[in-house]
Amino acid sequence: MTEPVLSPPELRRLQQRYRHLQAEVAQLGWIVQGSLMPKAPRAWRLTRKVQGKTVTLALSAAQADAFRQAIANHRRLEELLHEMRQLSEIALLGSAPGVKRRPRPTRPKPPLT
């Protein structure tokens, strides 16, 4: 078996960063997936996918402001989750011994004919 790759201080640093990201996720407000586009002078259009179909919803300017923040929160959530997944993989692979790798067999190459 191979030895763990991460030292205890490195593992603590990863855990601390992970907890910081968890706290940031907890601070996010409403989340909505989709995009906003202006429609008329003071109207907006929210477009999103629902069960593989594009759904469009007309919004007022006030609603668009609320949805704009919710869309930004969703994008930030995706970034945070991506980083949390990376940290989890590094910590889990580095915190316990792994399997011993087998050496590659050295076979002579057949001659070209």
**Tens of pLDDT along 57-77?**
999 999 999 999 999 999 999
pLDDT of 86: 97
111 found inside a domain: no
104 found inside a domain: no
Q: Find the angle CA(77)-CA(34)-CA(55) to the nearest 5 degrees.
A: 145
51 found inside a domain: yes
* Domain coverage including residue 28: 8-95
Q: Give which of 25, 70, 20 is closest to 44, Cα–Cα.
A: 70
27 found inside a domain: yes
The pTM of the full predicted model, rounded to 2 decimals, is 0.77
**Tens of pLDDT along 29-60?**
999 999 999 988 889 999 999 999 999 999 99
101 found inside a domain: no
How many domains, in total, are found in the chain?
1
31 found inside a domain: yes
5 pLDDT higher than 90: no
109 found inside a domain: no
Q: Give which of 80, 92, 96 is closest to 20, Cα–Cα.
A: 80
Distance CA 5, CA 48 (A): 43
What does DSSP assign to residue 42? T
